[in-house]
Structure formats: C-alpha cells, structure tokens
Structure 1
Amino acid sequence: MMDVNGVAQRLMREHEEQVRFRPFAAASGIASLDDAYRVQDRYVSLLQTRFGDGIGYKIGLTSQRMQRMCGIDQPIAGVVLADRLHHSGAKVAISGYGRIGLEFEIAVRLANDLPAGGPAFTPESVAAHVGGVCAAIEIVDDRAADYAELDVLSLVADNSWNGGIVLSEFRSAWPALDAVSGVVSRNGVEIDRGHGRDVLGHPFSPLAWLANALAAKGRTLRAGDVVMTGSLVTTRFPTETETYNFALDGIGAVELTVEAGKPG
C-alpha cells in the first residue's frame, strides 16, 4: 500500500539531511508512473511552503545522450518553483545540494494558455503558443545517485531531481531551434556542445509531450509558464569553484558560478 504523504515527507527529510539517493519505489509501493507522479505532486506541495509557487516545468531525458547516461528510455517531468529561479550571473554553493549537477538547455516561455480538451498537441501546434526562448542551465540534485541502478519511478517521485534553473534573457524572435548550436564552457574553455535537434528532434517536441501529459491529467500549460526542454549534453558535476557558460547561437548566453563554500 502506497503512503503518498509518507513518501513525500521522507523525501523532504532526505533532502534536508542530504541522504544519498537510492531507489525506493518498489519498497514504497510505487508501482507505476501514475503512482510516481502522485507522490511528486504531494512532494511539490510540501516544497512550495519553502520555495514558493510553481512557475513552470522541467522536462528531462529528452536526448539520447541523457537517456543512455540514466538508462531510461522516456522523458520525465518535474515542477520548477519560484524561489529556485535564478538569472544569468547567479552564484550557488555546492554544499547546498546532496550532489549538484548542471544541465544545459533551451527554455521556452508560454505566451498564452494552451487550449484544453482539443486534439493532441504537436510540435507545430504548441509553437504558436511560445512567446520566448532563452539559454538555460538546470540545477539538478541527484544526491550522488548510482546511475547503474537508477529507477525511473523513484526519480520521478523525487520531482525529477529539479533543484532550480538559471535563465538568460528571453528572446521573442529566434532562429530555427533544431539547428541551433549550444556551446558549454567551463572557466572560459569549451567542454561540450550540442544542437537543438538533440532533444527529440526539436525542443518543441518535448514541449508537446509535456502538454499532452498534463492534458491527460486535466491540466494545461499556462501563460508565463517556463519550460526546460531537456539537456543538449550530458550532466556536469562540479566539485570546486567554477564558472559555467552556455551560449546558444542566435539566442544568447547564460552563466552560473558554483562555489565550494557554505550556502549564503
């Protein structure tokens, strides 16, 4: 029997104490993705008392590189909270997380509510509702998970590990997103690069996936929602003070400094 509130409370405690992440779904009675998202909903409601209301969503595991890294073959979603929104130039302390990871993404902002009750969304139909795009870094907290034994149900229940997002300025006009090149630099030196097509062929494909997943629950994306569409490259795990820059050709760049010190 699944104790939704009990599992959510346990996740709160484990994050506070920075307990290492270990798969817990089977032992907690989480038997399906629906169960996992029910736990996530409750866990997010507890997080909102500390980090504010939801301002959008993260979509994870949208590239083949990320799916191979995690051993999971489908996208997942989590909720982004207001006080976890940072802007380019932000600084965060490594010690504030069980283990901090950085992912480098294209974020979108909705210009208006998506219609409810209509046909399934497609990349083309959601495109009409996007009002801005920007370069973004997702902060994930995987609490030193062992990826060899990763369980998608436990990951989803843990709000898909979202620990925050860092955004550049949104642009209301943008180049073809499938062809956009994204370059990751650490302390001024390029370390990786990817393209918009690396996330399910186009960043609006995971956006359509999310819109349909929400619609199946009677929900919809709203005007102003920010959606992280998934990392173009594999996660980086900084362990010392470093500055990361992610530049999207024709869109802009976002910068984050991680510091090997105590949280401010």
Structure 2
Amino acid sequence: MEEAKARRAAEALFNEHKTGVPFKTLDAGSGLVSIADAYDIQDRYVALLRASEGETIGYKVGLTSKTMQVFCGIDHPIGGVVLARREHASGAGVRRGDYGRLGLEFEIAVRIKSDMPASVATSAAVAPHIDGVCAAVEVVDDRAADYSALDVRSLVADNSWNAGVVLSKFAANWPDLEAVSGKATKDGTPIGEGFGRDVLGHPFNSVAWLNAHLASRGGGLRKGQIVMTGSVMKTVFPIEPAGYRFELAGVGAVEVNVT
C-alpha cells in the first residue's frame, strides 16, 4: 500500500479513538483494498500508539472459532498487536467509560520460549517453542460496530480491536489443550464455556497461523512474547458493573472487574 495513504488512514483511526467516533468502514479514499493493505495501516496505527502504550509484547489472534467467525461474518483468523501498557494481571479493573464499547473475550494465552522459525506451521512444531500457558481475557473495543455490515479489512486496520489483555499466572505444565475446558462466570453465575479445540482445533494451531502471518510480513514470534490464541466463546459486552472470572481447567483462573 502507498506509504502516504497508509499513514493518513492510521492517523484518522488514531484521531477517531481520541474523539470517541464509533467504528466505521474506512472510505474508498483511504486506499484500503486488500487484507495486506489493512495490515499496512495497522502497522502505522500501532506505531502511533506506542508513544503512550509502550512497545510490542505480543499479539492477539481473533476469529479462531466458528462461533466468532459466524458472529462477525468472517471465515478466517485475523491478527493484532498487544502493547506493554495494555498488559494487566488477574484482578485488574476496567471502566466501560474508557471504551467506545467494551467487550471481553475469554481465551488461552501462551508465552513464547524461543524465537520461532518461519517454517513452524503445525501445533506439534509449535509445542517446543512454548514455555507457559495461562487463562486470559482480552479487552476489546469494537466502538459500537454494526456487525451486520462489518468490513474485515477496516477491523484489521484498527488493530483487530485489541485494547488490552488480562492474564493469570503462567503455568509451566498444562493439560491437553485440545480437550481443556474453559468456563466464564459473571458475579459467580455461568455465562459461557468452550474448549481448546474451539480455537482452530488446537490453540497451538492459532500460534502457527500467527507465526506464518508474521513471517509473510518479514517478522516472526520472538522469545518472551505472549500470544492470545482466540476466544473459546462468544464475546461478552458488559452493560453494568460486575466481576468476571474465566477458569481454565488444570491451568488457572483470571478475573476482571468491570465498573
């Protein structure tokens, strides 16, 4: 994508967030035609965020389950960047008023043990490069998007809506992640559940997809980075103060307090 157009589109996104503009499809004049264009804009938008949000500490993969793909009308995963000041420990509080529309996604996160070669393309090949697994909640801001007319390219350009992550402690040993169950509650009442297999068949498949995506753009996963592998259930949009908990069997639990 033409550098000047990518930069202008990124600056427009940055200003929309600052002024509270609802999510909208980037107009034809932005030059956004392909998914590759969308990641070009995302790169420049994230660069603008770094001044206040810190450096890249990892990535999110979205739309990894059939449930979420159907919800958003999209048939493939997408990626986004997680920045340092957007990482929070279990028990963190988030304010609905700080977002256009706050969403919570309940996930399995992993920590990268060693730099991942571009050739890594399967869950089995990913496994030796992982040194920790945890229960996680992704904080997303869809800015009150209209899902009936969602443009995936504009979504990707907007850093795939990542607004933060909340993590439990990483476990050095974990059960079979294909079969592992995750259960979410709101103030102790069950609100949803899913399994590791709901994330592209296995959460490590999500990591492999992300590594291939990054390699196609000259990058790759690096030691110490975290990967949010994708939600095991449909996004929850809090409309009132509440405490949310996501428990990943045999791994741990993460809590988020919404005000």
In the superposition, the TM-score normalised over structure 2's length comes to 0.97
The residue type paired with residue 104 of structure 1 is F
Residue 107 of structure 2 corresponds to: 105
The residue type paired with residue 69 of structure 1 is F
C-alpha deviation, 1:120, in angstroms: 4.8
C-alpha distance in 1 between matches for 2:61 and 2:50: 19
CA-to-partner distance for each residue in 1:38-82, whole Å, 9 max, x for gaps? 000000000001100010000000000000000000000000000
C-alpha deviation, 1:121, in angstroms: 1.8
Residue 233 of structure 1 corresponds to: 233
CA-to-partner distance for each residue in 1:122-176, whole Å, 9 max, x for gaps? 1111111000000000000000000000001000000000000000000010000
4+ runs of 1 displaced by more than 6 Å? none
C-alpha distance in 2 between matches for 1:11 and 1:23: 11
The residue type paired with residue 64 of structure 2 is T
Q: 1:85 aligns with which of 84, 87, 99?
A: 87
C-alpha deviation, 1:251, in angstroms: 0.4
5 Å-filtered alignment, 1:57-76, equals: 57-76=59-78
The residue type paired with residue 11 of structure 1 is L
Aligned length: 257
Alignment RMSD (CA, Å): 1.0
Residue 162, structure 1, aligned to residue 162, structure 2? yes
The residue type paired with residue 201 of structure 1 is G
C-alpha distance in 1 between matches for 2:29 and 2:149: 15
CA-to-partner distance for each residue in 1:8-52, whole Å, 9 max, x for gaps? 111111111111101115442111111100000000000001100
Find the residue that maps to 2:156 and give its secondary structure. helix
**Conserved in 2, the CA contact under 8 Å of 1:25 and 1:31?**
no
The residue type paired with residue 99 of structure 2 is Y
Residue 147, structure 1, aligned to residue 147, structure 2? yes
Find the residue that maps to 1:3 and give its secondary structure. helix
5 Å-filtered alignment, 1:100-249, equals: 100-116=102-118, 119-249=119-249
C-alpha deviation, 1:115, in angstroms: 2.4
CA-to-partner distance for each residue in 1:190-242, whole Å, 9 max, x for gaps? 11110000011000001000011111112110000000000000000001111
C-alpha distance in 2 between matches for 1:167 and 1:236: 17
CA 1:120/1:134 → structure 2, altered by over 3 Å: closer, same or farther? closer
CA 1:205/1:225 → structure 2, altered by over 3 Å: closer, same or farther? same
Long gaps (5+) in structure 2: none
Identity of aligned residues (%): 56
Residue 45, structure 1, aligned to residue 47, structure 2? yes
The residue type paired with residue 34 of structure 1 is A
Find the residue that maps to 1:128 and give its secondary structure. helix
C-alpha distance in 1 between matches for 2:254 and 2:84: 18
**Conserved in 1, the CA contact under 8 Å of 2:57 and 2:82?**
yes
The residue type paired with residue 42 of structure 1 is R
CA 1:147/1:59 → structure 2, altered by over 3 Å: closer, same or farther? same
Long gaps (5+) in structure 1: 260-264
**Conserved in 1, the CA contact under 8 Å of 2:120 and 2:126?**
no
Residue 13 of structure 2 corresponds to: 11
